[in-house]
Amino acid sequence: MKPLVFLTSFLLALPLAAHPDPRHTLEHLEEHLKESPDNPQLLAQKVELLMDTEHLDLARPVCDRLLEVAPGKREFLLLDAKVTLEERDTASALGKTRAITAANPDFAAGWKFLSRVEEE
């Protein structure tokens, strides 16, 4: 019975220990992007990862590519506004976010981010 308890404890703790290194995650994303370079979900994940690791200089071109591949998608427009705010261009981020919420009045994430930008 004790081996079963040990195994269960180990398996329950595994997700806590499986927090990947951002470099590993970026390498993994790059591999997938080689296969599907215009996959908007992968591009968005890369932008978010680059922002999380404070590589804004690398995030901007990927975000621009994302908007070329999937123009007008509100989630990606919001991601662009987030990158813009992180670049310390509050006025542009505010304009972008207001445009998103005007075009998508039911987009809660847009309104939430708008309130954040307005506080800046």
CATH of the domain at 76: 1.25.40.10
Q: Report mean pLDDT in 10-residue bins for the chain, 120 residues.
A: 47 47 74 90 95 94 98 97 97 98 98 96
- The domain total for the chain is 1
What is the extent of the structural domain holding 40? 22-119
For residue 71, is it left (φ>0), alpha (ψ between -120 and 50) or beta? beta
Is residue 8 domain-resident? Answer: no
Is residue 103 domain-resident? Answer: yes
Is residue 11 domain-resident? Answer: no
Whole-model pTM: value is 0.79
